Structures are given as structure tokens and as C-alpha cells.
Amino acid sequence: MTFPFSNGDAAFDFQLTDCFDKPWRLSDHKGKLVCLYFARGEYCPTTRGEFAYFNAFARLFPKMNCEFAFVVNGGRAEHAKFARDLRIALPILVDDDGAIGQKYGIYGVNHNDLKRDDYKNYIAPGVYLIDVEGEVSAFWLASAPRGLPSPEAILGILGYAEHNNGKY
């Protein structure tokens, strides 16, 4: 697998809707730091834990000039129920056809763990940090959920960026 970006490359702009059909466009957040967390889906126990873990820090991301969003590959209705039931404050964007995951080099786009055409998934997660100028500053592509940065690590990186003109 080759990585589609190097640090300093302009991030690919996109628009998706969240699990509640609210539109979200990357370029609307230029001037802010952006963290995109490409996740497997709410059906995965590990991912459910990651959603809840990051959500515990949801109030801190805006204080650090950061927009945080999860990106999933399907299951809009399931993610909406999950977000309501667990009071997930962070947006869960739905990449129905996998096109955004594909452009960002996420492993296993449109995989069919659930054997359902209406609910595809990414096999493994990835995290992208995008700086205030819309450039990729860091990324992690994992073969499993473990090994990705924790919310505390991301907040530490955001703290650094805050004192470095919005650059990681």
C-alpha cells in the first residue's frame, strides 16, 4: 500500500453528511486544526469503546481550535442510534460509497464484515491531522485499532500546534 499523502500535502477536500444527515465539508474548517478518525463502525466492540473514549474529550477539542470528526464507511441508521443512545457529541460522518476512505488510503474500504450491502466498513482505522492551512501534518494508518493515538496524545499535539502557528 502506498500512502496518498506526505506531510505538507494539501488534504483532499470532501463533503459528507453525518449520521443525522447534517452536511460537513472539510474546507469549511480551514483556519482550524482538524482531526479525522476513520473508524470501523459501531458494530465493533473496540470501535464502540474508541467512540466513547474520544467523546469524553469532546468539549476540549473546540477549546484547542480543533474540529474532530469520525468517518465511517456505512451504517447510517445504526450510527445515528448509537450516537443518540451514547450521547456522542462528535460528528460521525458517513462515507457511504467508500470514496473518501479510498482517497485517504484507508485499508479495506467497502469491506463486508456484516454481509450487508447497506453497511460496509473499513477493515482498519486511520487518523489524519490537518493543520490550519488545510495541509496533512500527521497520519496513522493501522492494521488494527491498537497503535492509534489516544485522545490525550492528540490533545498534546494540539497544544504544540497552538504555540506553533497552527502547525503540528
What is the set of domains in the chain, with CATH numbers?
33-162 (3.40.30.10)
CA distance 132 to 66: 9
Bridge partner residues of 116 (DSSP): none
Asked whether the beta carbons of 7 and 129 are under 8 A apart, the reply is no
Asked whether the beta carbons of 76 and 116 are under 8 A apart, the reply is no
Q: Give the single-character DSSP code of 14.
A: -
Residue matched to cell numbers 488510503: 105
Q: What is the pTM of this model?
A: 0.92
Mean pLDDT for the chain? 89
Q: Does residue 56 register a pLDDT over 80?
A: yes
| β-strands 126-130, 66-72 pairing | unpaired
Q: Does residue 145 register a pLDDT over 60?
A: no
The whole-number pLDDT of residue 2 equals 62
pLDDT (tens digit, 9 = 90+) per residue, 61-88? 999 999 999 999 989 999 999 999 999 9
DSSP structure string for 109-158: TTB-TT--TTB-B-SS-EEEEE-TTSBEEEEEE-SSSTTSPPHHHHHHHH
Report the candidate in 99, 88, 104, 84 with the shortest Cα–Cα distance to residue 38. 104
CA distance 48 to 45: 5
Compute the average pLDDT of residues 20-48.
Answer: 93
Q: Does residue 143 register a pLDDT over 70?
A: no
Strand order across the beta sheet in which 66-72 lies = 23-25, 15-18, 92-94, 66-72, 33-38, 126-130, 136-141
